Amino acid sequence: MSTSRPRPIGLLTATLALLRKDLLIEWRTRARLNAIIFFALATLLMFSFALGPDTKLLEKNAGGYFWLAILFASVLALGESFRVESENACMDGIRLAPADARAIFLSKALGNTLLLTALGVLLVPVMVALYGVRIVTSVVDLGLILLLGSLALSAPGTVYAAISSNARARDVLLPLLLFPLVIPALLSAAKATTLVLQGDPMRQFDSWAGLLGGFNLIYWGVGFLLFPRIIED
Amino acid sequence: MPPLSAAPALALHDVSKRYGRRWALARLTYALPAGRSLLLTGHNGSGKTTLLRLLATALNPTAGRVEVLGRDAVVERDAVRRDVALLSHASFLYEDLTAHQNLTVLARLLGLPSPADAASAELSRVGLDRRSDSPVRSFSAGMRKRLAIARLLLKAPSIALLDEPFGELDPAGIRDMEAIIAELKASGVTVILATHLIEQGLTLCEERLHLQEGRAVAA
Amino acid sequence: MGKFIKWGLPALALVVLAAGWWLGLVWAPPDREMGDVQRIMYVHVPLQWVAMVAMAINFVVAISYLMKASWKLDAAAEASAEIGLVLGTAGMITGAIWGRPTWGVYWSWDPRLTSQAIMLVTYTGYLVLRRFVEDPEKRATWSSVVAIIGAINLPIVWFSVRWWRSLHQVQSTPKTVDPEMTLALRVSAFGMLFLTIWFLVQRYRQALAERQAEVALPDALPSDLAAAGGANSSRVA
């Protein structure tokens, strides 16, 4: 039986295999994905109603609203991605396969990053139309901040979604844990986005992008180290 | 037979497992000689499932040591995981993926050379080849059980841990499952079987362990 | 030792705290600019300091738990987070009371206040998580992870808020402090510290007793296991 046992796969291969599985599930449940997209769009729309027809105010705060919409959507997306794993104890299934717990962290966090980045790309034109803003500095800067911000929400989000998916009152617990944690990320992403939309005469963009980069380094590192303790203990 | 024939297939040294406020297993000591298969019996809540999950390394013991083929189930967890496969109450199946996709995901994680072909082969072995592209969500309980056993077979384990494999199966399904278990045994796999169908279990297994409130008692 | 903690420590704490507050409220001169309002400092500043001490204990204990699991560390984590949260909240409220007559507002978005508010929310989340996880081992591990991540976050928050607010004037306590004030503040701080240590010890004992009751209920425990007494504690001592 044990003659032609295949060699165990490496961390990267396992991550890619799991990421491929997650993306396949996202694709096969497009309706759920669409619902999250429309939720984010509705959030953008609700901000304009909450503030009344003051276009100046909307224009000034567009960056912040944009990131709040992404943050709210990310809570839903993260919750869903771990609900899928707990449905038939699938998380046990992949742990026991065996798949490296760190590969599970990386695949979930990367999958969520991809989803949020794609969501952001869809939201930008809507924001431009709805809030009357335009991209002043460059699209590349906006893309960079979108990627960095999505990465920054995804790493701690994955850790906390793994915890809260196994606790009682998981829908309340995830935002309660996650929101205070991502304040620095939200702040720098919103600020940098505002600079892209309103011009950046003092060249502050790089420092905000740098702060986001540092945040990412810390939380991807911490998540990579601590995630195995969450799902294996 | 696996090469480690000197070591017992599994050994429990004073193993206890607590869930919150309840002891599921209490100071269990047992050794299963290599090459024998084990029938686990006992009422609901007697600790059978917990014992299988400990052997599968899905759980860590609260106290004591679990050894599988001479390896510590906590210290050498990954090595043990490669040797054992668990058929559990929970099917480990993604509802939104098809039967074939479910097996392909596992085949990739196992590092099999051609995952899609391996998945197809196991599907026909359990008689699900015609439904291979249907999502699991559309499957009946019996079909899920078949797919779950295909998942176990795909892993080609040295030790198969079967938790109520006959549950939710019709008489034909039970016969098929018996044939699969006999086939596993014939190919040298150690079978650990927990079931209420003691008759079937006794014909398939040489050893028996009866659990009562988390402890081994004479059957 | 047990007697000292039960009676000596609270007595010492109350005496030192009373002395400190007498020094602060009666003996020390009023602030040249703020007048008597400034005297709330002898309550506010010690509260903030001991809250930080409690949170620092929580951080160290959480890391230690992940390195070597034990119910004592878990109990210490619960005690320090709870007491840190209570003291921090009291510190923040006294700060707001002080802020109103001094700055004209209860609240401002300066880095220190903002970071502290986020700290209080973080530890509220931490304590909520502890209530929502029933399995004691999982609760201990998960809350340690959350405590570590939350603590790492606080300097990042402080830094980013400072940057975010860099165009605004940062309000802070005046640096002109008389030596009498310093003495009164120090004595009050030691009093508060002793009181906190006493709180921590009491709450720790309570939490440890809860854990032990949780993991070894006699009616759920087979008799021979209870007699051995140790089987439940070999992995998590």
Structure tokens at A171: 């829908």
In a domain, A57, yes or no: yes
In a domain, C107, yes or no: yes
Choice between C232 and B158, residue whose per-residue pLDDT is larger: B158
Torsion (CA) B166, B168, B170, B173 in degrees, nearest 10: -50
In a domain, A80, yes or no: yes
Q: Please report which helix (H) or strand (E) contains residue A79, including its range.
A: helix A55-86
Mean pLDDT of A158-181: 91
Helix (H, G, I), strand (E, B) or coil at B90: coil
Compute the nearest-CA separation of A7 from chain C (Å).
Answer: 31
Local structure of residue C36 (DSSP, 8 states): G
In a domain, C32, yes or no: no
In chain C, residues with a C-beta closer than 8 Å to the C-beta of B64 are 231, 234
In a domain, A2, yes or no: no
- Partner C contacted by A220 (CB < 8 A): no
Instruction: Report how far residue C69's alpha carbon sits from residue B42's, in angstroms, rounded to the nearest whole number.
Output: 33
Helical residues (DSSP H) of chain B, grouped into ranges: 48-55, 77-83, 99-110, 115-125, 141-155, 171-186, 198-204
pLDDT, tens digit (0-9, with 9 covering 90-100), for B88-122 = 999 999 999 999 999 999 999 999 989 999 999 99
User: For the packed helices B141-155 and B171-186, what is the interaxial angle rounded to 10 degrees?
Assistant: 10
Structure tokens at B134: 């249907």
Confidence tier at C187 by pLDDT (50, 70, 90): confident
Question: What's at B38, amino acid-wise?
Answer: L
Indicate the number of domains in chain A: 1
Helical residues (DSSP H) of chain C, grouped into ranges: 2-3, 9-22, 41-67, 71-103, 111-132, 136-164, 179-215, 223-228
Q: Is the pLDDT of residue A47 over 80?
A: yes
In a domain, C115, yes or no: yes
Helix (H, G, I), strand (E, B) or coil at B31: strand
In a domain, A6, yes or no: no
Backbone angles phi, psi at B47, to 5 degrees: 110, 5
pLDDT, tens digit (0-9, with 9 covering 90-100), for C10-45 = 888 888 888 888 888 878 777 767 777 778 888 888
Interior/surface letters A143-181, b for 16+ CB within 10 angstroms, e for the rest: ebbbbbbbbbbbbbbbbbbbbbbbbeebeebbbbbbbbb
Q: Do C133 and A168 touch (CB under 8 A)?
A: yes
Q: What is the pTM of this model?
A: 0.89
Q: Is the pLDDT of residue B200 over 60?
A: yes
Interior/surface letters B29-55, b for 16+ CB within 10 angstroms, e for the rest: ebebebeebbbbbbeeebbbbbbbbbb
How far is CA A103 from each of CA A15, A95, A99, A147, rounded to the nearest angstrom? Answer: 5, 10, 7, 21
Least CA distance to A84: which residue of chain B? B94
Structure tokens at B95: 């509802």
pLDDT score at A6? 67
User: Is C110:C121 a contact under the CB 8 Å cutoff?
Assistant: no
Taking alpha carbons only, the member of C159, C68, C4 closest to residue A210 is C159
Q: Do A6 and B113 touch (CB under 8 A)?
A: yes
In a domain, C173, yes or no: no
Average pLDDT, chain C: 81
Structure tokens at A141: 């800067």
Mean pLDDT of A120-141: 89
User: Strand B22-32's sheet: what is its strand order?
Assistant: B22-32, B10-19, B63-68, B71-72
Of all residues in chain C, what percent carry a pLDDT higher than 70? Answer: 84
Say if residue A44 is exposed, middle or buried (CB neighbours under 10 Å; 0-12, 13-18, 19+): buried
pLDDT score at A193? 93
pLDDT score at C165? 66
pLDDT score at C1? 65
In a domain, C9, yes or no: no
Instruction: Report how far residue A49's alpha carbon sits from residue A60's, in angstroms, rounded to the nearest whole number.
Output: 15
Chain centroid to Cα A126, Å, comes to: 19
Instruction: Report how far residue A178's alpha carbon sits from residue A164's, in angstroms, rounded to the nearest whole number.
Output: 10
Could you list the residue range(s) of the whole structural domain that residue C199 is in?
A: 15-25+37-168+179-213
In a domain, A137, yes or no: yes
Residues forming beta bridges with residue B84, ordered by sequence position: B159
Indicate the number of domains in chain C: 1
Would you tell me how many other CB atoms lie within 10 Å of the CB of residue C222?
16
Mean pLDDT of B153-166: 93
Mean pLDDT of C51-78: 93
pLDDT, tens digit (0-9, with 9 covering 90-100), for A175-209 = 999 999 999 999 999 999 999 998 878 888 888 99
Residues forming beta bridges with residue B15, ordered by sequence position: B28
Task: Tell me which residue in A180, A222, A233 faces C138 most closely, judged by beta carbons.
Answer: A233
pLDDT, tens digit (0-9, with 9 covering 90-100), for B26-56 = 888 999 988 889 999 988 888 899 999 999 9
Instruction: Report how far residue C232's alpha carbon sits from residue C51's, in angstroms, rounded to the nearest whole number.
Output: 34
Task: Tell me which residue in C124, C125, C149 faces A159 most closely, judged by beta carbons.
Answer: C149
User: Is C65:C44 a contact under the CB 8 Å cutoff?
Assistant: no
Could you list the residue range(s) of the whole structural domain that residue A69 is in?
A: 11-232
Residues near A79 by beta carbon (within 8 Å), at least 6 away in sequence: A161, A164, A165, A170, A171, A174
The residue of C137, C141, C210, C212 whose CB has the most chain B CBs within 10 angstroms, and thus the best one to mutate to test that interface, is C137
Backbone angles phi, psi at A200, to 5 degrees: -135, 70
Q: Is the pLDDT of residue C220 over 50?
A: no
Q: Is the pLDDT of residue C87 over 50?
A: yes
Q: What is the ipTM of this complex?
A: 0.89
Chains that touch B (3 or more CB pairs under 8 A): A, C
Interior/surface letters C196-217, b for 16+ CB within 10 angstroms, e for the rest: bbbbbebbbeebbeebeebbbe
User: Is the C-alpha dihedral spanning C13, C16, C19, C22 positive or negative?
Assistant: negative
Mean pLDDT of C54-65: 95
* Span of B54-58, B108-112, B169-173, C98-102 with lowest mean pLDDT: C98-102
Cis amide bond preceding A98, omega within 30: yes
Task: Tell me which residue in B91, B111, B158 faces A2 most closely, judged by beta carbons.
Answer: B158
Q: Is the pLDDT of residue C163 over 80?
A: no
pLDDT score at C42? 86
Place of tokens 């899920």: B144
pLDDT score at A3? 44
* CATH numbers and ranges of domains, chain B: 37-57+81-217 (3.40.50.300)
Instruction: Report how far residue A175's alpha carbon sits from residue A171's, in angstroms, rounded to the nearest whole number.
Output: 7
Structure tokens at A211: 């702060």
pLDDT score at C175? 53
Instruction: Report how far residue A110's alpha carbon sits from residue C152's, in angstroms, rounded to the nearest whole number.
Output: 22
Choice between B201 and C150, residue whose per-residue pLDDT is larger: C150
